[in-house]
Amino acid sequence: MEKDIKILAIESSCDETSAAVVVNGREVLSNVISSQIDIHKKFGGVVPEVASRKHIEVISAVVQESLDIAKVSLEDIDAVGVTYGPGLVGALLVGLQYAKGLSYAIDKPLIGVNHIEGHISANFIEYKELKPPFVCLVVSGGHTFIVYMKDFGEFEVMGETRDDAAGEAYDKVARAIGLGYPGGPKIDKLAKEGNEKAIKFPRANFHDDNSLDFSFSGVKSSVLNYINNMKMKEVEVNKADVAASFQKSVVDFLVDNAMKACEIKKVDKIAMAGGVASNSCLRYSLVKEGEKRGIKVLFPEPILCTDNAAMIGSAAYFELQRGRAADLNLNAIPNLKLGER
């Protein structure tokens, strides 16, 4: 019988400080998340310097709590996994340096994990028997990708945003209609009260018909122009209709491209990942379209969609299985590309 592999994982790429203990890449013994949402809310978005300082304040306590909840000691840990990119460089460095220190102190392998690969790996926690190949739609505040996962650790980016990430567009539109930060959940909630057909917001069209790339700056600008025009005419803006119509434009774009990717790769599974994967409209629309085409749609529970260390622990396990340990020269790479090592 093979020995269980316990990974202590650390995630600090943006404004959540998280630590987790994950067994064999699938079983979560603990997943502690210290969120900074309330701190950054008053600024209308994440302030990198503030995020870094808060990570420094709480990381020791978060790691210890994750060990306590898992009922393990550092001696029980087989490897230390940590996010080293992409993300905010200062925030990444806090978690990375802490993980390096732990790895050195307990003399166990250090596993550097790509944050996006972590999001994808959250599905291996939710679906214990899931194996590649499948298509993954990664949608968050900082990233929007369509990825084909050929095998564990093997990724092909089929489409990505050429400007704003979908979650970033949500935040900016939410700010424009006075909903505040974070915008995604607030627009999703308000959209339920609106008419998604009330306003026709445009969708980016590329000259290459085969492109699976995205662009969300146009729809964001259209919303802002619509609001300004209504104000100039002294007409009251129906915020619920704006939210619903904006969301429909974004979601339709995401769903169409994700389904095209499944057709191209001839796979019948699509997994969701990232913070926007919690969006109720996106989940409903993907499942509905998937049912029409015989494509199964998978999505992790909401806690695994946000930035968390459990997903990093899962990805670290599969990296370790492929012999991809790092050394203590590992550095933070804020613009790390998916699949880069």
CATH architecture of 6-122+305-321: 2-Layer Sandwich (3.30)
**Cβ–Cβ contacts within 10 Å for residue 212, how many?**
18
Equal fold, 6-122+305-321 vs 132-300: yes
Dihedral in degrees, nearest 10, Cα atoms 171, 174, 180, 185: -70
Rounded CA-CA distance 217/203 in Å is: 10
pLDDT of the residue at 36: 81
287-308 pLDDT per residue, tens: 999 999 999 999 999 899 989 9
Residue with tokens 């370790």: 320
Q: Are 85 and 143 in contact (CB under 8 A)?
A: no
The whole-number pLDDT of residue 232 equals 92
Average pLDDT, rounded, for the chain: 93
DSSP secondary structure string, 262-321? HHHHT-SEEEEESGGGG-HHHHHHHHHHHHHHT-EEE---HHHHSS-HHHHHHHHHHHHH
Q: Are 11 and 83 in contact (CB under 8 A)?
A: yes
Is the pLDDT score of 96 beyond 60? yes
Q: What is the number of other CB atoms lying within 10 angstroms of the CB of residue 96?
A: 25
For position 1, what pLDDT does the model report?
55
Amino acid at 313: G
Query: Could you give the angle at the alpha carbon of 287 between the alpha carbons of 282 and 289, nearest 5°?
Result: 95
One-character DSSP codes across 181-192: SSHHHHHHHHHT
Class of domain 132-300: alpha beta
Give the mean pLDDT of 165-186: 89
User: Which residue(s) pair with 111 in the sheet?
Assistant: 81
Q: Name the residue ranges covered by the structural domains of the chain.
A: 6-122+305-321, 132-300
What digits encode the pLDDT tens for the residues 247-302? 999 999 999 999 999 999 999 999 999 988 889 999 999 999 999 999 999 999 98
Q: Give the rounded percent of residues in the chain with a pLDDT score beyond 70.
A: 99
**pTM beyond 0.75, yes or no:** yes
Please compute the mean of the pLDDT values over residues 170-183 and round it to a whole number.
Answer: 88
β partners of residue 112: 82
